[in-house]
Structure 1
């Protein structure tokens, strides 16, 4: 899986070669195809693994309501240790905007699920009195996701100048203050 993540990050989906991935892990292409019958299946496995790790990390400390921002801060920090996975995700997310890309549906569904999960947590915050009742939870959820993805892209391009975790923590602090009732 790691070799596929690296290859998709390095070459992008379209230019990525199953033969090269197989070679990098010491398999024949037929051997790789035994485990992943198509390139699309391998791509789906890579994306699912990334999402599984992120979801597990996001839900790990059981933070609810506005405190989900703390869980997201930890996730952003953790992603600095997964450069290849973040790079692969970013490349594939960009490529998936093409109508016929095999990961388009996966990314569309994933973004919908992530926005819904964050918006639901914000709604819990409203119900508990920790978040202003006039908050547009769906819009804030989309903003949070956009901020994380934008910071990831900038960090990948210039990690020396863009301190992704610090910038997200500062954003989360401003958001917490703005959402207080």
Structure 2
């Protein structure tokens, strides 16, 4: 399931190229996808939370995935915004994304996930 989830995410992200604008477009598209596939988003969040402690291949997979995302985001930022601390911004952005999904899952009737992403990304970039 995790392989399929990540493959679908990678396919969506690769459709959007072009630096920070492409990154923003890809993240918003990902939020839109999650709202149409709530069950997959929920399963992803639950599996990640269940493997926060202890050592396991699943925990290591989530840790590596987060590291790759932070690296990709920071590289994109560094190329276009040398005035920003790319690593710090990438870490903050990934923390926001993870938290935003959880907030939306808790209250999807009042939290508009794509709008939440757009607002944060517009203020950041």
Q: TM-score, normalised by structure 1?
A: 0.65
Two-structure CA RMSD over aligned residues (Å): 1.3
Does structure 2 conserve the Cα–Cα contact (< 8 Å) formed by 1:76 and 1:148? no
The CA deviation at 1:143 is: 1.3
Q: Structure 1: which 5+ residue stretches go unaligned?
A: 1-45, 126-130, 177-181
Q: Structure 2: which 5+ residue stretches go unaligned?
A: none
Paired residues in the alignment total 125
Larger relative contact order (Cα-Cα within 8 Å, sequence gap ≥ 6): 2
Higher helix share: 2
Where in structure 1 do 4 or more consecutive aligned residues deviate above 4 Å?
none
Q: TM-score, normalised by structure 2?
A: 0.92
Partner of 2:75: 120
Partner of 1:62: 17
CA distance in 2, matches of 1:82, 1:140: 28
CA offset digits 1:46-77 (Å, max 9, x no partner): 11111111111112122323541122111111
Does structure 1 conserve the Cα–Cα contact (< 8 Å) formed by 2:16 and 2:25? no
CA offset digits 1:128-168 (Å, max 9, x no partner): xxx2x231111111111111111110111110111111111
Which structure would you say has the larger Rg? 1
